[in-house]
Amino acid sequence: MKTYFAVAALSFAFAGIAHADGAEYQLPQANTSTLTRAAVRAELADAQAKGLVQTGERDWPQIAFTAQRTRAEVRAETLQAIASGELRALNEEPQSAFGIFVPKHKATDTLVTAAAK
């Protein structure tokens, strides 16, 4: 048992030495700018005038969405999927490792006829 702890202690010691090989901390270097404060402000004002600087969500490009189908077309398609059983197949989930599918909810014909009205 003592040899086990000795081997474990040595392995941790060597792992620490191997890990410390590439760890060198470098102090942050001073960064000097070649531009004056006035030049930076002038560049910023120029970029803002050209619309190159985004300051918030209002500056994002506006996306216009147009629907490809009408609400009535989508509703008719959904009712057809309910009647054909396609919607029920999409809402099923596996309940066993053998791939037996069981519906989440029991659909009745009254729901189909009520939705069709």
Ramachandran quadrant class, 91 (left: phi over 0; alpha: psi -120 to 50; beta: rest): alpha
Predicted confidence at residue 44, as pLDDT, reads 92
Query: What pLDDT shows up at residue 99?
Result: 57
pLDDT number for residue 74? 93
Whether this prediction's pTM lies above 0.85 is answered by no
Strands 101-103 and 92-94: what pairing? antiparallel
pLDDT at 108: 52
Residue 108 structure tokens: 């009745």
Per-residue pLDDT, 96:
55
Report pLDDT for 93: 63
Q: Are 101 and 94 in contact (CB under 8 A)?
A: yes
Average pLDDT of the chain is 75
Classify each residue of 75-97 as buried b or exposed e, where b means 16 or more C-beta atoms within 10 Å of its C-beta: eeeeeeebeeeeebeeeeeeeee
- What pLDDT, on the 0 to 100 scale, is given for residue 63? 79
In which residue ranges of the chain is pLDDT below 70?
Answer: 1-2, 5, 7, 10, 13-22, 92-117
Phi and psi at residue 61, to the nearest 5°:
-65, 140
Predicted pLDDT at 76: 94
